[in-house]
Amino acid sequence: MNFFEYRNQQLHVENVPASQIAAQFGTPCYVYSQSALEHAFQQYSQAFAGHDHLVCYAMKANSNLSILKLFASLGAGFDIVSGGELQRVLAIGADPAMVVFSGVGKSEEEIRMALDAGILCFNVESIAELHRINAIAGDMGKRAPISLRVNPDVDAKTHPYISTGLKDNKFGIAYGDALDTYKAAAAMANIQVTGIDCHIGSQLTEISPFVAAVEKLLTLIDQLEAAGIKLHHVDLGGGVGIRYDDETPIVIADYAQALLGKLAGRHFKIILEPGRFMVGNAGMLLTKIEYLKSNEQKHFAVIDGAMNDLMRPSLYEAYHLIQPVLQTNATSRVYDVVGPVCESGDFLGKGRELTIDTGDVLAVMSAGAYGMAMSSNYNTRNRAAELLVKGDSVKQIRQRESYQQQLSNELACL
Ligand code: LLP
């Protein structure tokens, strides 16, 4: 299903022309299709419907409160990685008992906050963290529910920066240490062992690494059972990729079938932590062309969006399709699409064939995941506005930041 399409040479988000949104709310701005968000969530819930499961949306991909509220209303729990993300769960009135807390560096304050809120589970990444959680839970007179994030050492076949399940990654507990760590956890007075967890990487386009990871977890689960440690849930993380360019993405029904096939006859609740898949294709960044310029080598389209708005191209050399919101039949040229930030790495696309003019609005597609969420104020640029479209309606779900807001925490005290 396509919620972003050209009608009469005008790019529409659902029923609304993108040019109209840019004119009304200014650029750069992120625009999301609510139907696309709902569709993504439903693909997961339908595919896993036959099995006890919980989709914990990995909100690091996009943590706008309205988007979180939408997913919560559809039945999602959340995967969080910081105290700040927990505050978002609480702010929208979602149920903390549907929250898993991942991340290698949980602080004391964050652990306290999560125990206080009553989260479903800590995904623990080291023996040191286990000791810390045990001590804090004891201090608070609580028992902390935990799963161990095991590093299954499988190759996710994705970009090295977003691959997390290999031996040389900082994530998880080494496979060979997992059994002993579980035994240690089971012996801790204030720890309740409830599950097992893995996350092998992001933007995966093949199912086989997920299957390899589950197989390794099942071997471990059998060893745990033999040692008298019973688990209630298996958390398979996130990582399902989307189409940015010409990738053949995973079909969720096939992914579910492969995983459920491996777990057949076992009575674990399945937890999933998709991030990118839920929001990636549901969002785009609108940006206006400030200048066209050329040198001996190249043509440049200088836009009002930049690496601070969408960091993925600079950071991972990630590809995002860039297209004008109004198509014309004039002659095209090949451009590097670059922002105003003072870095050569500030580009959103290179070598793109485009038919464009100064003042035109461009849509940078598939920017719903890790777009706004990774934005910054570099060069003291205000962070973009965010809009949510459903049918004919456009709602502003985040105002454009103001200079006053940016400066408000700083003190010029000398
Ligand atoms: N669970 C854990 C423990 C994670 O670390 C992540 C992502 C997810 C779930 C969600 O993964 P997803 O379904 O979104 O692939 N900034 C990078 C992606 C970093 C992913 C970090 N971890 C990018 O823009 O491609």
Percent of the chain at pLDDT > 90 equals: 93
Structure tokens at 234: 């298996």
| Ligand 1 atom 22, closest CA | 202
The full set of domain ranges for the chain reads 4-32+280-407, 34-277
For residues 132 and 108, the answer to whether their CB atoms sit within 8 Å is yes
Average pLDDT score, the chain: 96
DSSP 8-state assignment for residue 327? -
pTM, entire model: 0.97
pLDDT class for 1, splitting at 50, 70, 90? confident
Known catalytic residue at 342: yes
Structure tokens at 114: 């999560």
Which residue of 82, 250, 273 sits with most ligand 1 atoms within 8 Å of its CB, as the best mutation to test the pocket?
Answer: 273
Alpha-carbon gap, residue 378 to 309, rounded angstroms: 9
Ligand 1 pocket residue status of 110, Cβ below 6 Å: no
Class of residue 297 by CB neighbours under 10 A (exposed 0-12, middle 13-18, buried 19+): exposed
Q: Is 80 helix (H, G, I), strand (E, B) or coil?
A: strand
pLDDT of residue 7: 98
Cα–ligand 1 centroid distance for 208 (angstroms): 18
The lowest-confidence range among 61-70, 151-160, 269-278, 342-351 is 151-160
Of residues 61 and 160, the one with the higher pLDDT is 61
Residue type, 155: D
Using CA atoms, how far residue 21 sits from 34, 66, 232, 329, 363, in Å, is 15, 18, 47, 23, 11
- Would the pLDDT of 192 be above 60? yes
pLDDT class for 159, splitting at 50, 70, 90? low
For residues 64 and 31, the answer to whether their CB atoms sit within 8 Å is no
- Would the pLDDT of 279 be above 70? yes
- Would the pLDDT of 31 be above 90? yes
Using CA atoms, how far residue 78 sits from 41, 42, 57, 70, 262, in Å, is 13, 16, 5, 12, 24
As a 3-state breakdown, the chain gives helix, strand, coil percent values, each rounded to 5, of: 35, 25, 40
Q: Is 354 helix (H, G, I), strand (E, B) or coil?
A: strand
pLDDT of residue 156: 78
Which residue of 54, 244, 276 sits with most ligand 1 atoms within 8 Å of its CB, as the best mutation to test the pocket?
Answer: 276
Give 34-277's CATH code, choosing from 3.40.50.2000, 3.40.250.10, 3.20.20.10, 3.20.20.70. 3.20.20.10
CATH class of 4-32+280-407: mainly beta
Instruction: Give residue for tokens 């299957």.
Output: 211
pLDDT digits (tens, 9 = 90+) for 288-317: 999 999 999 999 999 999 999 999 999 999
